[in-house]
Amino acid sequence: MKVYLGRCNDYKDSQKVIESGFEHLGGVDRYVSPGQRVLLKPNLLKGAPPEKAVTTHPDFIISVVRILEDAGAEVVIADSPGGPSSKKFLKGCYEKAGWDRVVEETDAELSYDVSYSQVPLPFGRVLKSVPILNVCLESDVTINLPKLKTHGLTVYTGAVKNMYGTVPGLTKSAFHGQYRGMQRFAKVILDVHDAASPDLSIMDGILGMQGKGPAGGDPLKMDMVLISKDAPALDHAACRAVGIDVNRVPTLIESQLKDDDIEMVGDGFPDLHIDYPDGGTTPWWMPEFFGGLLANLYMKRPVLYPERCISCGECDRICPEDAIKMNQYPKISWWKCIRCYCCAEICPEDALEPR
């Protein structure tokens, strides 16, 4: 499996680096034909400004759009952030992430279609069907544009996990409640990836995130772009590039990739060793019905910083186990909490943090 790694220290240079990646992987016309409708699926965890490194940078998206439009493609951009499936909510997230600039500077379309269809997965690892956004299913080509970030639950989030955003709205958090063991949830993430079936992944690793990702970590210049047809292979290479132990990443454990399975092209690995979390959820051997009780012994809690809290109630709305009740501030039931950290990810003020 071939993975391109190109060094890029500024978004203004990203287009030529991505073009070089396409050349290493057989050319743009190997993936896109004139007249095709191409879905770009960036990372829109929540509405956050580009400098926070929470979402795929708008300049990176613009670079990809220009390459595809030069190839004669019609481009649509879509994602389903954590929260309600509504045009108003999406519009706010797009604007905060700076993605409205994409439609101002290119002919691409931002999708507000929140409809979805069930995709059968007869050979799924855990799921036998998955709800996937119709805008993804109706496109001729799907190109995944993940952000290179750490993750409090899954240690790392990249190409495979980015496709989890093709599941509509609050269904994503519901899956956390239904599939609690980390390795079981990793299989859910891989099942969603398979259902959404990206044709190519192009990773924004120019400004990434280390520490308490995917929303509350520290932005870090990583100065690279990674591209591959195979999302697990890209994730394996990205983890090696930044010093994350691939044997700590649940989706990579399930993928069972080895270094020898991957052919690296382009530039060599940078000398990076980022700060990444331990991850967390109930251990693989623990029966799920013990999750709420024994989780207190094993996992970090989402702790509230009241001085940051604006009492918006987003954490209450997204909690898959109804473990949060709003008074002046959110009150968390440790009996019900399953340590999925959805509340911390969605909080607009980073007032909740696993600790």
> Per residue in 206-238, pLDDT tens?
999 999 999 999 999 999 999 999 999 999 999
What is the helix, strand, coil percentage profile of the chain, to 5?
Answer: 35, 20, 40
pLDDT digits (tens, 9 = 90+) for 316-330: 988 988 999 999 999
Q: Is the pLDDT of residue 340 over 90?
A: no
Q: Between 41 and 170, name the one with better pLDDT.
A: 41
| Domains of the chain, start order | 2-266 (3.40.50.11440), 288-354 (3.30.70.20)
Taking CA atoms, 239 is separated from 60, 124, 246, 247, in Å, by 20, 25, 6, 10
Query: Mapping DSSP to helix (H, G, I), strand (E, B) and coil, where does residue 151 land?
Result: strand
**CA-to-CA distance for 24 and 27, rounded, in angstroms?**
7
Q: What is the pLDDT of residue 297?
A: 58
Query: Mapping DSSP to helix (H, G, I), strand (E, B) and coil, where does residue 122 land?
Result: coil
Q: Is the pLDDT of residue 282 over 60?
A: no
Q: Is the pLDDT of residue 85 over 50?
A: yes
pLDDT digits (tens, 9 = 90+) for 93-134: 999 999 999 999 999 999 999 999 999 999 999 999 999 999
**CA-to-CA distance for 111 and 99, rounded, in angstroms?**
11
**CA-to-CA distance for 246 and 43, rounded, in angstroms?**
21
How many other C-beta atoms lie within 10 A of the C-beta of residue 320? 20
pLDDT digits (tens, 9 = 90+) for 286-318: 555 554 455 555 677 888 999 999 999 999 988
How many other C-beta atoms lie within 10 A of the C-beta of residue 190? 24
